[in-house]
Amino acid sequence: MTTMRIEDEIKQSAFKSEFHKAYINLLYTSNYLEQEHGTLLKPFGITSPQYNVLRILRGQHPKPATVSLLIERMLDKTSNASRIVDKLEVKDLVTRKQCPDDRRTVDVLITDKGLALLKQIDVLDDDTKTGIHNLSEKEAAELNRLLDKIRD
Amino acid sequence: MTTMRIEDEIKQSAFKSEFHKAYINLLYTSNYLEQEHGTLLKPFGITSPQYNVLRILRGQHPKPATVSLLIERMLDKTSNASRIVDKLEVKDLVTRKQCPDDRRTVDVLITDKGLALLKQIDVLDDDTKTGIHNLSEKEAAELNRLLDKIRD
DNA sequence: GTACATTAAATGTATGTACATATATTTGCA
DNA sequence: TGCAAATATATGTACATACATTTAATGTAC
Count how many domains chain B has. 1
Using pLDDT thresholds of 50, 70 and 90, give the confidence band for residue A44.
very high
- How remote is the C-alpha of B141 from its chain's centroid? 20
Q: Is there contact between A50 and strand D, defined as CB under 7 Å from any strand atom? A: yes
Question: Which residues 116-135 on chain A approach chain B with CB closer than 8 angstroms?
Answer: 127-128, 130-135
Output the pLDDT for position B148.
92
Strand C nucleotides with an atom less than 7 Å from a protein beta carbon: 7-12, 15-19, 24-27
* Contact between residue A130 and residue B8 where contact means Cβ atoms under 8 Å apart: no
| Mean pLDDT of all residues belonging to chain B | 89
Quick check: is A45 in a domain?
yes
pLDDT of residue B13: 61
Contact A152 B3 (CB under 8 A): yes
- Say if B76 falls within a structural domain: yes
Please write the tens of the pLDDT for every residue from B113-137.
999 999 999 988 776 677 888 899 9
Contact assessment for residue B108 and residue B57, using Cβ atoms and an 8 Å cutoff: yes
Does B30 reside within a domain? Answer: yes
The pLDDT, as a whole number, for residue B12 is 65
Give residue B89's pLDDT: 97
Among A residues 47-76, those touching chain B with beta carbons less than 8 Å apart: 72-76
Is the pLDDT reported for residue A6 higher than 80?
no
Distance in angstroms (rounded) separating the CA atoms of residues B48 and B78: 15
Within a domain: B50:
yes
Q: Do the domain assignments include residue B5?
A: no
Name the residue facing B152 among A3, A25, A149 (closest C-beta): A3
Q: Quick check: is A142 in a domain?
A: no
Q: Is residue B146 in some structural domain?
A: no
Give me the mean pLDDT over the A100-107 stretch: 94
Task: State pLDDT tens for residues B64-115.
Answer: 999 999 999 887 777 899 999 999 999 999 999 999 999 999 999 999 999 9
B33 within 8 A of A23, measured Cβ to Cβ: yes
Distance from residue A55's CA to nucleotide D16's C1', rounded to whole Å: 18
Q: Is the pTM of this model over 0.85?
A: yes
Least confident of A20-24, A50-54, A81-85: A20-24
Q: Nucleic chain C: which protein residues 7-46 of A have CB below 7 A from it?
A: 31, 34-35, 38-39, 42
State the pLDDT at residue A80: 92
Q: Which domain holds residue B103?
A: 15-137
Q: Is residue B90 part of a domain?
A: yes
The CATH code of the domain that includes B84 is 1.10.10.10
Confidence band of B2 (pLDDT split at 50, 70, 90): very low
Contact A137, A116 (CB under 8 A): no
Q: What end-to-end distance do the CA atoms of chain B give, in Å?
A: 32
